[in-house]
Amino acid sequence: MKRFITNPMIRKELRQRLRERRAWLLPSLYLLVVAGTASFAYYATTSIAATNGQLEIQGADIGVAIFLTVIFTQIVVLLLMAPVFSAGSLTIEKEQRTLAGLLTSLLSVPQIWWGKFVAALLYLLLLLSSALPLLALSFAFGGVEPVQLLKATGSTVLVLASLSAVGLWCSALFRRSIHATATCYAIVLVLSVVTVVTFGILSAHWESSGAAASGEGIPAYVQSPMFLNPLYPLLALFSPGQGNSFSYPVCSWLLFIAIGCLAAAFTMRRLQRSGEQL
Amino acid sequence: MIEAKNLRKIFRGNRGLRDFSLSIAPGELVGLVGPNGAGKTTLIKIISTLLPADSGFTTVCGYSVSAESQAVRASTGYLADFPGVYQDMRVEEFLQFFADAFRLREPQRSASIQRAIERSGLQDRQNDFVEHLSLGWKQRLLLAKTLLHEPKILLLDEPATGLDPLARIALREQLKQLHAEGITILISSHILSDLEDICTRIVFIADGKNVSEPSTASKTAQAALPVIRCEIEFVAPLSAVDAAISRAKGKSLSGKKGNQLIVELPGGAEEASAFLQDLLASKVLVIHFDARGPGLEERYRRTFEERLS
C-alpha cells in the first residue's frame, strides 16, 4: 500500500505536467469559462425576474441558479479535458520511447497505471477545486446546502475518475496520442449523446404506450441508457421526488465504477503485453 | 549467468526466434551479430522480461525470466535500441526518478546517483534539462541510468546507433571498463569493428537461430572454420617463396604485389608460425610478417554469405 502512495510515477508525472505551459493556461481558461457562466446565471435569473415584473427576487433562486449552472458547466468542461490528460499519458511514453525503461524497472504494471491515473485525476481535481470559491458564492445567496456541494463534487470526481481510466485504456491500446485521444473523445461522445438519443427513443415509446398517463415516474428500463450518461448522476441528484425525474444516481455511480475498474484491468493487461509495441 | 534454451517467439510475417539456445558465463562480453530481422532485439527483449517467449525457457542469474521477472529486472540493466529520455526533466531528476523506480534507499540512493553522474561525466550539467544534451551525452546518461541499481548483467540493444565517432569511442571505453569491473554484457550491434574490439565472444544469429553453436548446419559451420591471413614482405628470392607457399597445406594466395604477398592458411597462430619458419628455412629474407585471424567482418561475410546470396 505504501508503494502506491510513495509512487515515484506520481511525482514524475506531476512534475512534468506542471512544467508544461498548459499547467497555468488551462486553469486560467477554465476559471474564465466557469466564472463567465456563473455571471451569466446571475444576470439571467435577475433579468428574467425583472422581465416578469417581480420586484423582489429570492436570494435562494439566484443561489440555486448559480450552483446548478456552475456544477453542470464544470462537468461538461472537465469531460472535454479528461481525454487530453489521460489518453496521452501512456502513448507519450511510447512516442518518446521511454516505456521500455519503465517496464524493465522495478515498478510494477499496477504502479505505473496508478501513477498515470492519479496524475491525470489530480490535475482535474486541481481544476475542480479552483472553482470551489465560485460554487461557494451560491451559499451567500442561500438555497444550497453544503451537503449538496459535497454530493455534486463527489459525483463529478467519480465520473471523471472513470473516464480517466477509460482514457488510459485508450492510451494503452494505441501507439500515437492523437489516435488514443480521438478514440477517448468518441467514447465520451457516445456516452453523452447516444445515451440521450436512446433514452429519447425509449421515452417516446413509453409515452406513446399510455403508461405515462398513470403519473408515475419514468421507469428504470427507460432511464437505463442514461445511467451511462456522465451528466445523469447530477441530473438525478438535483431533481429528486418530482414527476418524470431521473431517480437512480446509485445505479449510474455503480456503472461508472464498473467501467473504471474494467478499463483499469484492460489497461494493465495491455501494458503487460506491450513489449511488441516498443 | 544467462541460459536460454529452445526459445521460440514467432511474430506475424514469420519473423522471430526459432529454437534459439545460448549460454553466457559470468564475466563474458558477448556480441550478438546478425542481419536485420534476425531476432537480436527479440532475444534481448525476452531476456529483459519485456516480451514473453512462445516456448522454451530462459534464466538470468538463476531466476526464471517468466516466473521471477522482478528478480531478473533487479539483476539486469536493459538499454533499448533508440531509447528515449524525459526531455523535460533535469539530469539529476531523471536519475532520481529511476533510482526510486529501482527502489534504492538512502544512503545507497544518493551514492548511486552521484556515481552515475560521475560515470557519465555529467557533473557540470546535472541541473541541465535533458533536452539540452547531445545524443552522445544522452546515451551516456542512459547507460548511467541503466547502471544505477548495479546490475550484474547488461543487455544493450544497438547502443551505438546514431552516435558520432567520438561518442562511439567513449561508449566502447566505458563498456571495456564495465567488463573489467566484472559485469556480464550482451550487446547487439551492426558496428562489427566496435564489437571486435571489445567482445570476448561473438554469437551469430540468423533467421531466429543461433548459427555459431556446434549444432549449426554443417555448411555454415564449415564456413566459420578459422583461417589466418598472413601479410608477407620479402626481399628475395621469389622462387623460394613460391616453393614455401606450395608446401603449405590448404593455402590460398589472395594477393600479390611486387615483394608483398597475402596468403590465407587454414588454422591459427601455430600454422602461421610454421609457415614463417618454412619461409626462413628456405632462405627467404622476410622483412615483414603479419599474421591475423579473420576479422569479424570476414567471419560475418562467411557465415551469412550463403544466406545473403
Quick count: other Cβ atoms within 10 Å of Cβ A252?
27
Closest residue to B78, CB basis, from A104, A106, A108: A104
Residues 6+ apart with CB under 8 A from B148: B95, B98, B99, B102, B104, B112, B113, B116
In this structure, are strands B153-157 and B76-79 parallel, antiparallel, or unpaired?
A: parallel
Q: Which of A43-47, A169-173, B218-222 has the lowest mean pLDDT?
A: B218-222
**Stretch A191-203: mean pLDDT:** 91
Q: Mind telling me how many Å the CA of B14 is from chain A's nearest CA?
A: 14
Question: Is the ipTM here above 0.90?
Answer: no
Question: Is the Cβ–Cβ distance between A188 and A163 less than 8 Å?
Answer: yes
Could you tell me the CA-to-CA distances from B250 to B158, B176, B263, B267, B275 in Å, in that order? 37, 37, 10, 10, 12
Could you tell me the CA-to-CA distances from A61 to A41, B2, B94, B226, B294 in Å, in that order? 10, 74, 54, 95, 92
Cβ contacts of B87 on chain A, cutoff 8 Å: 96
Q: How confident is the model at residue B123 (pLDDT cuts 50, 70, 90)?
A: confident
CA angle B271, B272, B274 (to 5 degrees): 65
Q: What is the pTM of this model?
A: 0.82
Q: Mind telling me how many Å the CA of B296 is from chain A's nearest CA?
A: 30
SS3 A3: helix
Set of cell numbers at residue B88 = 523535460
pLDDT at B270 over 60: yes
Query: pLDDT digit string (tens) for B34-71?
Result: 888 888 899 999 999 998 888 898 999 989 998 898 99
Cβ contacts of B11 on chain A, cutoff 8 Å: 276
pLDDT at B216 over 90: no
**Stretch B204-228: mean pLDDT:** 61
Question: Is the Cβ–Cβ distance between B193 and B37 less than 8 Å?
Answer: no
What pLDDT sits at residue B293? 72
Instruction: Pick the residue from chain A with its C-alpha nearest to B93.
Output: A12
Question: Is the Cβ–Cβ distance between A62 and A45 less than 8 Å?
Answer: yes
Radius of gyration (Cα) for chain B, nearest Å?
24
Set of cell numbers at residue A219 = 421507469
DSSP annotation of A193 reads I
Cβ contacts of B41 on chain A, cutoff 8 Å: none
Asked if A276 has any chain B CB less than 8 Å from its own CB, the reply is yes
Cβ contacts of B49 on chain A, cutoff 8 Å: 103-104
pLDDT at A254 over 90: yes
Cβ contacts of B52 on chain A, cutoff 8 Å: 273, 275
Query: pLDDT digit string (tens) for A146-159?
Result: 888 888 899 999 99
Quick count: other Cβ atoms within 10 Å of Cβ B254?
11
Closest residue to B70, CB basis, from A9, A97, A106: A106
Query: pLDDT digit string (tens) for A116-130?
Result: 999 999 989 999 998
Query: pLDDT digit string (tens) for B72-103?
Result: 999 999 998 887 899 889 999 999 999 999 98
CA distance A121 to A201: 34
Q: How confident is the model at residue A178 (pLDDT cuts 50, 70, 90)?
A: very high
Q: Mind telling me how many Å the CA of A259 is from chain B's nearest CA?
A: 28
Query: pLDDT digit string (tens) for A38-55?
Result: 899 888 888 876 777 666
Q: Mind telling me how many Å the CA of B196 is from chain A's nearest CA?
A: 28
Mutation choice for A interface testing from B11, B50, B108 by most A CBs within 10 A: B50
CA distance B62 to B72: 9
In this structure, are strands B286-292 and B252-257 parallel, antiparallel, or unpaired?
A: unpaired
Asked if A47 has any chain B CB less than 8 Å from its own CB, the reply is no
Q: Please name which of B182, B158, B152 lies closest in space to residue B171, comparing C-alpha atoms.
A: B158
Cβ contacts of A278 on chain B, cutoff 8 Å: 45, 50, 80
